[in-house]
Amino acid sequence: MAASGAEVLPGRREGGGGEAAVLRGTRGRCWRSRSKAASCLSIPSRRDNAKLVSCGGDRQLFYWDVSSGRVIRKFRGHDSEVNSVKFNEYNSVVVSAGYDRSVRAFDCRSQSAEPIQIVDSFQDSVMSVILTKTEIIAGSVDGTVRTFDIRMGREVVDNLGHPVNCISLSNDGNCILAGCLDSTLRLLDRSTGELLQEYKGHTCKSFKMDCCLTNTDAHVVSGSEDGFIFFWDLVDASVVSSFRAHSSVVTSVSYHPKDACMLTSSVDGTVRVWKQ
Amino acid sequence: MDEGDEDYVVYGTPIEREEETSARKRRAIADAGQLRALPPWKQEVRDEEGRRRFHGAFTGGFSAGYYNTAGSKEGWTPQTFTSSRKNRADVKQQSIYNFLDEDDIKDMGGRALETSMQFDTFGFTAAELARKEAEKEQEKRPSAIPGPVPDEIVRPAANSIGIKLLMKMGWRQGRSIKDTHADSLYESRREARKAFLAFSRDKDGPELAEIESSRSESEKYPERSDDIFGGTKSTPVYVLNPKQDLHGLGYDPFKHAPEFRDRKRSRESRDKDRGNNKTGKYAPGFGIGALEELDIEDEDIYASGFDFEQMEVEEVEPTKMIGDSWHKLVDRKRGSMLSFKVASNSDYVLERFRPPVIPADFESRHKFPTTLESTNKFPELPPPEVPPPEDNNLRLLIEGSAAMVARCGKSIEDLYKEKSKTNQLFLFLSGGEGHNYYERKLWEQKQKRGDLGRQNNTKSMKSSDEKMNAENRGKVLGERPLDRSSKASSLSVDVKEVIHLQSNLGDTFIKPVGLSESLKPFKYDPAKQERFEQFLREKYHGGLRAAQPFITNIMSETDRARERLDFEAAAEAIEKGTWSKEKETDPLSILKDLPFINDQRFVSSTEVEKHGVSKDEQKVIHPKREEFEWRPSPILCKRFDLIDPFMGKLPPVQRPRSRMDSLIFMTETIKSSKSEEAIASTRDSILLSHSESKETEKQLITQETDAEPIAADVQRPVDLYKAIFSDDSDDDDADEGNSGHSTDPVKTNEGANMTLNRLVAGDFLESLGKELGLEVPTDKPGPPDKPPNSILVEAASKGDINSSSVHEKLTSQHEEFDRPMEEKHKDNISKSADNVVTNLSINQNEESKPHSRHQRSRSRTPDSDSSDDYRDKKRKTHSRRRRSRSPSTDSSSDRHRSKRNRSKATHRKRGTTDTDSSSDHLYRDRSKSEGKSRKRSRHHKHRRKDGHKNR
């Protein structure tokens, strides 16, 4: 955890207490899983917070039971370290993005550890993946944000021209916020693929960092490599606020989907919960 | 037939046979004695044979009648005969009730003869009946509480026990209570009188005596008669006059019509009189003397009905009708009920609101701003269209000043006019050269400014000005304009942002789209610039174009088209940020630069691709968007709870699982063919030739089974490969890869075998002929109309083959196929050489197969070979045959070659393991999945068959 940072996704249905529990649980899991994984990169949990899945440098995904703290399943298939992993809407599929230029989908319901779908149209490491009800969206270092529409059977490639570090979906689902490695966040219109806005001011050049939108979609949040956290106005891209949150690189920023509550984690080994 | 009898189904009871009757008869006779002892209604009717006889349903079946008669238990008496001769008068009125049962009469609501509750000694029942009648009447009247409930709740009290006792004591309704002595006296007298009257009726004679006696009686009890008179006036039962009218409480209908009240009063008094001397009717009979007092005894007891109390049920208020008891209720006249009084002054003041104050400037008629404006505008007719003056400068000046005047108002024109006095240039203002043109331009500009002004107005003005169309509604609702329009409108970064932020982030406000000064490509021509902005606006707004009459007026069609082209070019240029000063002067130069702009207007679907192309050329704006087809796996769709978009369609070309597979599939996709090019040099020739032979055979089969769809070609090599060369593991792999396969394995197998047979047969015949020294014409391997030549060449070129062995093989095959068509006089030597090469190539295939198998299935168990199907057997026999006829030199060279190849392959494999990690992974993948796939192979086969069936 200290090596690469952790991402904690508060459960959607949980209140304030639940988040803390998940947070604690996540840390516990992280320590435990460190024996197996070289590093733990991403730990999303299911909507009901009953299971979580973690990924890391050991090329496999760990499917955890939160209550017991045991590994239910390990999904193998990636050829190198796994950068990001997400549950789908029904918690039945885990989709992971790896350094092996592929996005793989694993079936949580079957006993098989083999991926049920491999997408390898990327030209470089896939850094981030998000899922909607019908789509898999993944951002890659090759500068593309690819949307795989399962319902339509289409792959839409938005080439941003800069390595995509992190992608994040707006709460209304119409926009993608892509954090690029040229210290710029880009807001894309999903339907047309056009660039709506660029947000600059922070530094993001070499770390895998996260960005997100606030619960009201009014602001854009991202960490910075100098330990700052930046808030931009969504519309006019002005820096609304920036403050020093951590002593080192802020690796992950996660906003509560409903409340004004934010989690940040840093390379310095701290996870901070921000509340109004 | 006996068996048939058993099949009959018998319904009902069978008719008893005759032989049984004797026994029954005996029993009936025996019973007869008993029957007589029974009461007649218990006796059953039987005939002489002792059977119950059916009388028919209408009369009730067996039990109809009474002992088989028409009588009843009570007996049957025929109607007595009455002669109509004496009794002619009373004609019998027959009604339906004469023919109905009591029950029926009741059902019909008729009055049946019933026993009454009380023995009506005193005519009390009649009074009760009258009361009931009144109640019924009450029901029909409108009541405050609708429905029958009040009548049930408010029930007239039955006679109390006191009344009952009184009645037992001789009191009857309407009488006052007196001492029993007087009463009894009275009673007896009354009885006597009655008897007397009855007597006197019969005999006219002794009536005088009777009168005498009665008179004497009355004289005898003079004082009592007074008593009795008083006693008759019992307290009358008043029915408090129910409210029958529909007037409100306390409403006096005669308030404004006093004359009617008078009439009513007179009626009331008449009623009162009637009530006062209400002593009943007097019998008109004789026996009552003129001097006799009117008394109760004198009432006509034979008159119809009884004398019951008057019911005051009229609308008219019975004011002072009867004595003191009424006094409490008499207040009716003042319009009050028992305890309610009409208040003298009411507290209730109806609250009234003042009508709203109409502002002074309110106009009662609604004005429609747009039409008003139009009426304001259009009365002044447009000046005639005038050709612009030849002098270009003057034209520009005129147009510019017209625009200026239109924009800034009349004052500027005056200023110009002032100027024109000194400056010759402005002569056109005051009627010099080009004045007409100026007027025309000015009018246009004004029109336009009106238009623009309307568009640039604030939103509220806009909404009031324009009618609500789909576009406006969309804006109000925060909908996004169509993709295309928004895309086209992406002029510059800031404009684009405005557009998108407002459209996508749900903002409903609309900023007027304005171009910055630097982005005015038609600065030299303000009019044109205006039009250009208008054009941009339209482009942005999308939807239907507003009608612009002025444009159609002033410009010809070609002019408009050209201008439009200019605009689009400029817009495109602005969008790309390549607008520069030098181009400003000549907009047409942009057109030359961007030749595809013309097309863009018409081709919208390919816009995306075009953007991509242009960006590649110019190295500009990201992001760019591309779309590809992507096929999600069915299980993924299932897990996402979605319908597989490719359901029922052919499965996609599977990614090659191993290098081996990739070699076979290389020619299928462009991508893979490219990669094949890249590694073709390092590839061993055997595998290539292997794949090539596959290719050729595939082509042959497609020729032979001509009806196959082309799409199936993609699948074919896999199946063919399986059909000919695969062992179990190959089969499994391919099956696993194409689990959704729809091709028919049997068919392809047959095809493959056919091809092989044909080839082998040709070889065999040739070699046999060689050995025998005969010239044997070969069979035609393919249909003669389509020579396989071209296909093979095609395949060869597709595969990009460099190795010589492939060429050899190909040429050999060419010649072999071409031979039957081209020539038959080829010399033996060349033929045999061909043959050698052919065999060689085929044996190469033979050799490469186990080699490849070895290479791939390192972890294979040997017993899997035993499960080879008939195809393998066939193949083996083929190979055996081939081997038997192939010379030993062939095989030896064969072996050499294969050995070399193997070593090469292994070497290459070792060399590439560390560099090519992905392929290495594929190997691993394969070896991992192999064990499992073998397990599932049978299952897959079944599935495939099923799939075929379904298809």
Q: Can you give the pLDDT of all 276 residues of chain A as single tens digits?
A: 222 333 344 333 232 333 333 333 343 343 333 323 333 445 566 666 778 788 878 888 888 887 887 888 888 888 888 888 888 888 888 899 989 989 999 988 888 888 898 988 898 899 889 888 888 999 999 989 999 998 888 899 998 888 998 899 988 888 899 999 988 999 998 888 888 889 988 988 888 888 889 888 889 999 998 889 999 998 888 898 888 888 888 888 888 888 888 888 888 888 888 887
Of the two residues B603 and B41, the one the predictor is more confident about is B41
* pLDDT at A139 (0 to 100): 92
CA distance B753 to B878: 10
Cβ contacts (< 8 Å) between B511 and chain A: which residues?
Answer: none
| Mean pLDDT on B296-325 | 45
| Closest Cα in chain A, distance from residue B738 (Å) | 14
How far is B795 from chain A, CA to nearest CA, in Å? 28
Tell me the domains of chain B and their CATH numbers: 228-242+252-282+300-341 (no CATH), 372-458 (1.10.10.790), 473-621 (no CATH), 656-950 (no CATH)
Task: Please spell the DSSP secondary structure of B226-263, one letter per residue.
Answer: HHHHHHH-PPP---PPP--S-PPTT--TTTT-HHHHHH
Inter-chain touch A151–B645, beta carbons under 8 Å: yes
Q: Are B296 and B210 in contact (CB under 8 A)?
A: no
Better pLDDT: B524 or B927: B524
Confidence of residue B462 (pLDDT cuts 50, 70, 90): very low
DSSP conformation class of A45:
B
What value does the mean pLDDT of chain B take? 57
pLDDT tens-place string over residues B110-166: 565 666 655 656 566 677 777 777 777 766 666 566 555 555 565 555 677 888 888
The one-letter amino acid at B93: Q
| Residue with tokens 């009943």, as numbered in its chain | B280
A251 Cβ partners below 8 Å, 6+ apart? A4, A5, A6, A7, A207, A208, A209, A210, A223, A265, A266, A267
Q: What is the pLDDT of residue A137?
A: 92
pLDDT of residue B350: 75
pLDDT of residue B296 exceeding 60, the answer is no
**Whole-model pTM?**
0.33
B64-68, B286-290, B417-421, B872-876 — most confident range: B417-421
Signed CA dihedral, A88, A93, A98, A100: sign only:
negative
What average pLDDT score do residues B566-575 get? 74
Nearest to B645 among A119, A153, A161 (CB): A153
Bigger pLDDT: B852 or A108?
A108
Of A82, A90, A88, A45, nearest to A61 by C-alpha is A82
Round to whole Å and give the CA distance between B157 and B322: 24
Query: In angstroms, rounded to a whole number, what is the distance separating the alpha carbons of residues B688 and B805?
Result: 9
Q: Per-residue confidence at B24, pLDDT binned at 50, 70, 90?
A: low
Give the pLDDT score at A140: 92
For residue B290, pLDDT beyond 60: no
> Per residue, what are the HEC states of B848-882?
HHHHHHHHHCCCCCHHHHHHCCHHHHHHHHHHHHH
Of A109, A153, A159, the CB nearest to B623: A159
Residue A25 is predicted with a pLDDT of: 36
A111 in contact with B, Cβ within 8 Å: no
Q: What percent of chain B has pLDDT over 70?
A: 21
Give the ipTM of the model, two decimals please. Answer: 0.81
What chain B residue is nearest to A218 in terms of C-alpha separation? B505
Using CB atoms, pick whichever of B490, B631, B633 lies closest to residue A194: B490
pLDDT of residue B6: 62
- Three-state secondary structure string covering A79-145: CCCEEEEEECCCCCEEEEEECCCCEEEEECCCCCCCEEEEECCCCCCEEEEEECCCEEEEEECCCEE
Q: Which residue of B has its CA nearest to A178?
A: B623
Could you tell me the pLDDT band of residue B183, with boundaries at 50, 70 and 90? low
Q: Which residues of A touch B625 (CB under 8 A)?
A: 156-159, 192-193
Separation CA B777–CA B769 (nearest Å) = 9
Count of other CB atoms within 10 angstroms of residue B404: 17
What percentage of chain B reaches a pLDDT higher than 90? 0
Segment B381-404, tens digit of pLDDT: 556 666 666 677 777 777 777 777
Nearest to B633 among A117, A134, A174 (CB): A117
Write the residue in A116, A120, A148 that is nearest to B635 by C-beta.
Answer: A116
The top-scoring range by mean pLDDT among A142-151, B216-225, B318-327 is: A142-151
Facing B632 at nearest CB: one of A89, A153, A162:
A153
According to DSSP, the β-strands at A250-255 and A261-266 are: antiparallel
At residue B884 the predicted structure's pLDDT band, cuts being 50, 70 and 90, is very low
Longest dimension (CA), chain B: 180
> CB–CB of B626 and A157 under 8 A?
yes
| CA B41/CA A31 separation, integer angstroms | 105
Judge whether B799 and B695 are in contact, CB under 8 Å.
yes
Q: Which two tokens stand for residue B180?
A: 């029993």
Q: Which of A108, A110, A116, A169 to mutate to test the interface with B (most CBs of B within 10 A)?
A: A116
| Amino acid type, B849 | K
Contacts of A117 in chain B (CB under 8 A): 632-633, 635-636
Work out the minimum CA distance from B623 to partner chain A, whole angstroms: 4
- Least confidently predicted of B25-34, B365-374, B817-826: B817-826
Report pLDDT for A138. Answer: 92
- B626/A159 CB distance under 8 A: yes
Range of lowest pLDDT (A148-157, B317-326, B354-363): B317-326
